[in-house]
Amino acid sequence: MGEYNSDMSTAKSVDWTLYLIADVNYAAGRDLVPLIEEAVRGGVTMVQLRAKGLETREFLELATRMASVLNKCSIPLIINDRVDIVLACGADGVHLGQDDGPPDVARTLLGGSKIIGVSVNTLEEAHEAERLGADYIGLGPIYATTTKDTELPVLGPEELRRMRQKIGIPIIAIGGINAGNAAEVMKAGAAGIAVVSAILGAPDARKAASELKKKVRTYRREC
Just list the catalytic residues: 50, 119, 148
Cis amide leading into 153 (omega within 30): no
**SS3 assignment, position 12:** helix
Burial class (CB within 10 angstroms; exposed 0-12, middle 13-18, buried 19+) of 144: exposed
The one-letter amino acid code at 44 reads V
> Distance (Å, rounded) from C-alpha 17 to C-alpha 40?
12
Task: Specify the pairing of strand 77-80 against strand 46-50.
Answer: parallel
Helix or strand (DSSP H, E) at 176: none
What secondary structure letter does DSSP report for 118? E
> Distance (Å, rounded) from C-alpha 42 to C-alpha 32?
15
> Distance (Å, rounded) from C-alpha 17 to C-alpha 213?
8
